[in-house]
């Protein structure tokens, strides 16, 4: 049964904002993780897994809300895509943390801290942007800023790849670290994909 949304139905905005805030929490945790001593990382990895499950719950709640709502505030397919893109961010960083533990990577090249700093910035921008879906013209500075952050992340990622293949590292170490820096770059890309969906929504609303 599909229910007509009340005119001021806030549940879509609330759930999307909660999903974005969960991502911001994941990035703060990631920051602690890459700075932690090897011994302290296991509980941080478990907490990251918990946040990944929280993200899944938000995604499922959004999908169920789309399904039971007769008139959604924007196209169903766009809400679905946005939920999936937000989920992709958390999945990517959860996998990075997981691999770092599994591979016993206790030290990262310096560029990794820069990647994480940019991901924190992207997460803050996204969490602030989400409630503005109600008034899409307020999102203009967000698209500009998220694009700048994504370009900066891309540059850092490229420098890291150059470093990894410079001959300074053993092949097996290159493979492990490449999985990690590629995973962080994937998270940066996922933020931009979420911003693209929000752009599509804004164009349709205008």
Q: Contact residues for a copy of itself (CB under 8 A)?
A: 63-64, 67-68, 77, 98-99, 102-103, 158, 161-162, 165, 167, 171-172, 174-176, 178, 200, 203-204
Q: Considering the complex, what minimum distance in angstroms separates the CB of residue 163 from a copy of itself?
A: 11
* Smaller CB separation from a copy of itself, 102 or 140: 102
* Smaller CB separation from a copy of itself, 21 or 154: 154
Q: Considering the complex, what minimum distance in angstroms separates the CB of residue 203 from a copy of itself?
A: 5
Residue carrying structure tokens 């924007």: 74
List of long-range contacts for 28-31, beta carbons under 8 Å, 24+ apart: 28/120, 30/93, 30/96, 30/97, 30/116, 30/119, 30/120, 31/116, 31/117, 31/120
Q: Considering the complex, what minimum distance in angstroms separates the CB of residue 77 from a copy of itself?
A: 7
Q: How far apart are CA 162 and CA 164, in angstroms?
A: 6
* Smaller CB separation from a copy of itself, 120 or 178: 178
Q: Considering the complex, what minimum distance in angstroms separates the CB of residue 179 from a copy of itself?
A: 9
* Smaller CB separation from a copy of itself, 34 or 105: 105
Contact partners, residue 183, CB within 8 Å, separation at least 6:
92, 93, 95, 96, 99
Cβ–Cβ < 8 Å for 80, 134: no
């Amino acid at each position: 049964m599909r229910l007509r949304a009340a005119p001021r139905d806030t549940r879509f905005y609330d759930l999307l904002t909660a999903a974005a805030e969960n991502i911001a929490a994941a990035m703060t945790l990631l920051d602690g993780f890459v700075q932690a001593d090897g011994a302290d990382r296991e509980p941080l990895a478990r907490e990251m897994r918990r946040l990944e499950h929280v993200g899944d719950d938000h995604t499922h709640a959004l999908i169920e809300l789309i399904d039971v709502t007769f008139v959604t505030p924007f196209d169903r397919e766009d809400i679905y895509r946005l939920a999936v893109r937000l989920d992709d961010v958390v999945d990517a960083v959860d996998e990075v943390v997981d691999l770092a533990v599994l591979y016993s990577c206790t030290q990262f090249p310096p560029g990794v801290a820069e990647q994480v700093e940019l991901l924190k910035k992207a997460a803050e921008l996204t969490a602030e942007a989400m409630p503005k879906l109600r008034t899409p013209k307020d999102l203009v500075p967000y698209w500009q800023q998220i694009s700048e952050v994504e370009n900066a992340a891309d540059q850092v990622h490229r420098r890291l790849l150059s470093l990894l293949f410079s001959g300074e590292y053993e092949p097996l170490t290159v493979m492990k670290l490449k999985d990690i820096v590629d995973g962080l770059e994937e998270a940066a890309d996922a933020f931009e994909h979420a911003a693209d969906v929000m752009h599509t929504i804004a164009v349709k609303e205008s």
